[in-house]
Amino acid sequence: MANQLADYDIVGTVVDDGVLPCLTARRPPRLGGGEGTVSIWVLGPLARAPLAAARGRLLAAAAVRSPHLPQWLEAGAGEWAQRPVVFVSAATAVTGTLAAANLSPRDKVVALAAAARGAHALHEAGVLHGGICPQAVALAGPAPDGAVLAPPALADGKRPLVQVGYPPLAFVDPQLLRGNGGRWSDIWAIGATLRYLVSGSAPFPGKDEVPVVQALAQLLTAPAPAPADMPAPASELAQQCLSTDPAARPLTALEVADRLDQIGRQW
Amino acid sequence: MPDKLEVLAGPGLVARFGELTVWAGTQASPALQAHLVNEARRLSQSPQPGDQLANSFIAVLQRGDPEPQAPFAVVGPGANGLTLFLHGPVQAWDSGRWLAPQPVPGWMVTSIGRPWPLIVLPYGAAPPPQSPPNNPFDLLQGTVPGTGFVMLRPAGQPAANQAVVGAQQTGAPGMGGPPAGYGQGYAPGGPGQQFPGAAPAPGGVALGPSGPPTGPGPNPAFGGGLAGGGPAAPYVPPGQIGPAVPDGARLPTAQPETGAQTAPGTLSQAPAGLSAPPAAPATAQPATPADLVDLQVPPATPLAPLPVGTGTTTGPDAQQVVGLRCEQGHLNHPRASSCAHCGRPLGTGQAPASGPRPALGVLLADDGSVWSLDRPCLIGTSPQDAPEVVSGAAQAIAMRAGNNHVMAPVHAEVQLRDWNVYLVDRGAEGGTCVQGPGAQGWAVLNRHEQRELSSGSHLSCGGRVLTFLSAWPA
């Protein structure tokens, strides 16, 4: 395995699930701040890396100060696993992700609430995250309160999705597929993540690409059916987030976060 | 005084213009051979022509290798000495080691100083014996048949700058060491001497400061004409009529795609049967500062908060269509029984209403990309330059051709009319095919023919397949 990404010396792998690899690297001297390690998220593979186009969004996202967002350092293009990729480094130490962590359903809901607050902070700064999924909720401290959001996906939500991988298609708002992304798209993704974390099923049937593709056409016209095994409060919130009509979804991610916290407390 | 260029007799071609020399083996298509020669001629008077020509190929290879089995080589001045670009089954002796793309076929590029002699041969070919003293053969300019070439130090040139770059001179098993007579006799600088400023670059690294190859026009071999000067025109695979420049390619820091067809080579990889020089490091190419976005600086212009509420589901400048409006005001297909937007039922006796057309569905490409049909689409290698796209009336679906296929810059079009979706052939070589849902085979469209698509239809052009999924009832 390669042990370098750009000029970062990779010293460990937090998670490499094929969706959003998270690595630990030595802090390059040029960044200052002394020795230590940084976290790196690998977005990609991106053969047509739109890093330049996403520059403004990434800068705006990094300027947001929130306990639910990492302290991002820089974004760059490089090569990882023999593929061209875009990566984002952060000073925040990460120990795992919501997708891989062995947490109770209650803790997962609370961790997702923290991520939703991070999404809301981004929205207020004009940034659509566009990549919320179980792999994008990182654990940066004692679970579940230490959850933070991984870097935003590079698509801006105003153009049709042209990259897959991160986020997985099963967690992409059909409105985003229409090039009509907005807060409501991240809220849809939080609902999809909630559903997955609690019931184990994504809004699309199966995990393979083909069923997802087949489901897309249906999802463009009809809401996903509610899973039967979800507790009622979580199911109601997830279904509302997953509404086909953006107006029928919660208006803000902050509202979703509050309801998630409430569900967590009552679990 | 220019280097002496001895052409090795045999199939293939060798071309030299100024200090730029190219070689192509017989497996290279006539179009590729013509492109090599034409570009070598055109760039010969440009600064650092070796970098320019190599970078133009790298730009194409980033998207995929049109001719992975085509051996060719480019040798010419670059920013760090002599640029050597090797593609396909080819090998080169730089007076200190054998170089070849790894894996084979693949490609590599490096700077090699002035390593007389430089030998370029097909991969696996035995090196030629040393040419006799005062050999009169010397290609000064032009194109001649040849299975390779030997570049030698010009007569009278002082030896001070001669060098062997990187590895020790190593003998080649079965060959009794370096090519007989070469190396010692022509590189008195000796093994291990480093040429200043000629540090080897990892495979696949574009060299020099030249910008993206926004070539001046189509290759004359394909119906256009090249203007003089300017950056290198990208190689246009056979059948294309325009340049194929990767989206957002930044040549000085370009990273190649990987895979059997596009993998860059690594330095110092010996062809089979030759001695193996030190392996190149397996690490990734370090990013340059230009690759990095410092996220610790505040944005120049803060963004406005994202709006709260609903978003429209219509594309820009959407056509007015007649449909059914739900009680929430969402416009739907006339045959819809419930609102696609909010799910509310639509009455059978509901009066028609008109409004901006919502998205008609999606196109799913075989690379996993998804394209909303809220606007017409142009499909091709570079549809972004089409007037319809520039004006915003259509969206560009840029793809590269599949293996052994050709795709035009604008190959096919998907049009939206009322609530219907049509596939339109744009008359390009290779044509456009469609396969309706449940059909057993592909139907080839006539040139400029248009055909309505039903949900689940596959369309194919240039060896690529896209699937149309409708958002509305049939």
CATH of the domain at A180: 1.10.510.10
| Pair A31, A138 in one domain | no
Q: pLDDT tier at A92 (50, 70, 90 boundaries)? A: very high
**Residue A32: Cβ-neighbour burial (10 angstroms; 0-12, 13-18, 19+):** exposed
CB contact under 8 A, A76 and B282: no
* Same structural domain, A66 and A24: yes
Largest CA distance in chain A: 54
CB-closest option in B255, B299, B328 to A56: B299
Higher pLDDT, B470 or A187: A187
- Whether residues A151 and A49 fall in one domain: no
Q: Does B69 touch chain A (CB under 8 A)?
A: no
Q: Tell me the two tokens of residue B200.
A: 């080897």
Does B65 contact chain A (CB < 8 Å)? no
Pick the residue of A48, A158, A161, A204 with the most B CBs within 10 A to test the interface with B by mutation. A48
Chain A residue numbers with beta carbons less than 8 Å from the beta carbon of B307 are: 182-183
Q: Is the Cβ pair A251, B467 closer than 8 Å? A: no
Q: With beta carbons under 8 A apart, name residues in chain A contacting B299.
A: 56, 59-60, 63
For position B278, what pLDDT does the model report? 27
Task: Please state the domain count of chain A.
Answer: 2
Whether A167 and A101 map to the same domain: the answer is yes
Q: Quick one: pLDDT at residue B252?
A: 26
Sign of CA dihedral A217, A220, A225, A226: positive
Angle at A122 between CA A116 and CA A123, to 5 degrees: 90
Beta bridge partners of B459: B434, B466
- Contact between A37 and A24 (Cβ < 8 Å): yes
Of the three residues A90, A125, A158, the one that is the final residue of a domain is: A90
Q: Quick one: CA dihedral B118, B123, B126, B131, positive or negative?
A: negative
Question: A24: number of CA atoms within 13 Å, CB side?
Answer: 13
How far, CA to CA in Å, does B9 sit from each of B12, B137, B145, B228? 9, 11, 7, 32
Residues 155-194 on A with a CB inside 8 Å of B are: 159-165, 169, 175, 177-184
User: Who wins on pLDDT, B109 or A156?
Assistant: B109
Residue A176: its chain B contacts at CB < 8 A? none
Give backbone dihedrals phi and psi of B22, rounded to 5 degrees, phi first: -130, 155
User: Residue for token digits 């291990």?
Assistant: B192
Q: Which pLDDT score, from 0 to 100, does residue B440 have?
A: 80
Q: What is the pLDDT of residue B164?
A: 25
pLDDT confidence of residue A228: 82
B381 vs chain A: nearest CA distance in angstroms? Answer: 13
Q: Which of residues 231-260 of A touch B (CB under 8 A)?
A: 243-248, 251-252
In degrees and rounded to multiples of 5, residue A130 shows phi and psi of 75, 0
Burial letters B323-360, b for 16+ CB under 10 A, else e: bbbbeeebbbbbebeebbbbbeebeeeeeeeebbbbbb
Helix locations, A125-229, DSSP H: 174-177, 183-199, 209-219
C-alpha distances (whole Å) from A244 to each of A121, A203, B46 are 24, 12, 58
Contact A126 B283 (CB under 8 A): no
pLDDT for the residue numbered B138: 80
Query: Which stretch of A78-82, A97-101, A150-154, B333-337 has the lowest confidence by average pLDDT?
Result: A78-82
Structural domains for chain B: 1-298 (no CATH), 308-358 (no CATH), 361-470 (2.60.200.20)
Mean per-residue pLDDT of chain A = 85
Residue by residue, pLDDT tens for chain B (474 residues) are 678 888 888 788 889 988 899 999 988 888 888 888 888 888 888 888 998 898 888 878 877 788 888 999 999 988 878 889 999 889 888 777 778 887 777 888 887 776 678 899 888 787 777 777 667 778 888 888 888 999 887 766 543 333 222 222 222 222 334 455 443 333 222 222 222 222 222 333 222 222 222 222 222 222 222 223 344 444 444 333 222 222 222 222 222 222 222 223 322 232 332 222 222 333 334 444 447 888 988 887 888 898 886 544 444 556 899 999 988 788 888 988 887 766 778 877 778 899 988 888 888 777 666 777 888 999 999 998 899 888 888 988 888 888 788 999 999 999 999 999 999 999 999 999 999 888 888 999 999 999 999 988 889 999 888 888 887 877
**Which residues is B372 bridged to in the sheet?**
B362
End-to-end alpha-carbon separation of chain A, Å? Answer: 42
Q: Hey, is the C-beta of A11 within 8 angstroms of any chain B C-beta? A: no
Kindly tell me if the per-residue pLDDT of A103 is higher than 50.
Answer: yes
Q: How is A128-154 classified by DSSP, letter by letter? A: -----SGGGEEE-SSTTTTEEEPPPPS
Contact between A59 and B340 using a beta-carbon 8 Å cutoff: no
Q: What is the largest CA-CA distance in chain B?
A: 98
Q: Do A78 and B284 touch (CB under 8 A)?
A: yes
pLDDT score for B253: 24
User: In Å, how far from its chain's centre is CA A143?
Assistant: 17
Mean pLDDT along residues A128-149? 91
Single out the residue in A74, A90, A106 at which a domain terminates.
Answer: A90
Which of A15-29, A45-59, A142-156 shows the lowest per-residue confidence on average (mean pLDDT)? Answer: A45-59
Residue from the list A56, A76, A209 with its beta carbon closest to the beta carbon of B287: A76
Say yes or no: B474 contacts chain A, CB-CB below 8 A.
no
DSSP H or E stretch at residue B273 = none
How far apart CA B276 and CA B307 sit, in angstroms, is 61
pLDDT, position B218: 27
* Residue A54 shares a structural domain with residue A159: no
- A-chain residue closest to B339, CA distance: A221
Q: In this predicted structure, what is the pLDDT of residue B367?
A: 66
CA of B122 vs chain A CAs: smallest distance (Å): 27
| Residue B262 distance to chain A (closest CA, Å) | 11
* Structural domain ending residue among the three candidates A90, A105, A124: A90
Regarding whether A43 and A25 lie in a shared domain, the answer is: yes
Q: Which of B283, B286, B292 sits opposite A74 (nearest CB)?
A: B292
> Which pLDDT score, from 0 to 100, does residue A267 have?
84
Asked if residue A50 has pLDDT above 50, the reply is: yes
Q: Does A265 touch chain B (CB under 8 A)?
A: no
Hey, which residues 303-342 in chain B have their CB within 8 Å of chain A?
Answer: 303-313, 315, 328, 330, 336, 338-342
Task: Looking at the complex, report in whole angstroms how far the Cα of residue B287 sits from the nearest Cα belonging to chain A.
Answer: 4
Domain range for A43: 4-90
- B285 contacts A78? CB cut-off 8 A: yes
Q: Which of B434, B435, B431, B414 is nearest to B423 (CA)?
A: B414
Q: Testing the interface with B: which of A31, A51, A79 to mutate, by most B Cβ within 10 A?
A: A79
Report CB contact under 8 Å: A78, B62.
Answer: no
Say whether both A132 and A112 belong to one domain: yes
Q: How confident is the model at residue A238 (pLDDT cuts 50, 70, 90)?
A: very high
Instruction: List the single residue in B257, B309, B311 with the smallest CB-CB distance to A84.
Output: B257
**pLDDT attached to residue A108:** 95
Contact B450, B465 (CB under 8 A): no
Do A84 and B293 count as a contact with CB atoms less than 8 A apart? no
Are A78 and A110 contained in the same domain?
A: no
A73 and A109 share a domain?
no
The answer to whether residues A157 and A207 belong to one domain is: yes
Three-state SS at B342: coil
Distance CA B122, CA B101 (A): 12
Contact A4 B284 (CB under 8 A): yes
Asked if A160 lies within 8 A of B372 by C-beta distance, the reply is yes
pLDDT greater than 70 at residue A171: yes
Higher pLDDT, B14 or A259: A259
Report CB contact under 8 Å: A59, B471: no
Q: What is the CATH number of the domain that holds A22?
A: 3.30.200.20
Q: Is A160 in Cβ contact with B309 (below 8 Å)?
A: no
Q: How many CB contacts within 8 angstroms connect chain A with chain B? A: 197
Are A81 and A210 in a shared domain?
Answer: no
Give residues 23 to 62 of A whose Cβ lies within 8 Å of B.
47-53, 55-62
Q: Which residues of A touch B295 (CB under 8 A)?
A: 58-59, 61-62, 72-75, 88
Confidence at residue B203, expressed as pLDDT on a 0 to 100 scale: 32
From A126, A181, A243, residue closest to B303, measured CB to CB: A126
Interface check A218 vs B, CB under 8 A: no
Residues A18 and A134 reside in one and the same domain? no
| Reported pTM | 0.52
Task: Output B131 or A266, whichever has higher pLDDT.
Answer: A266
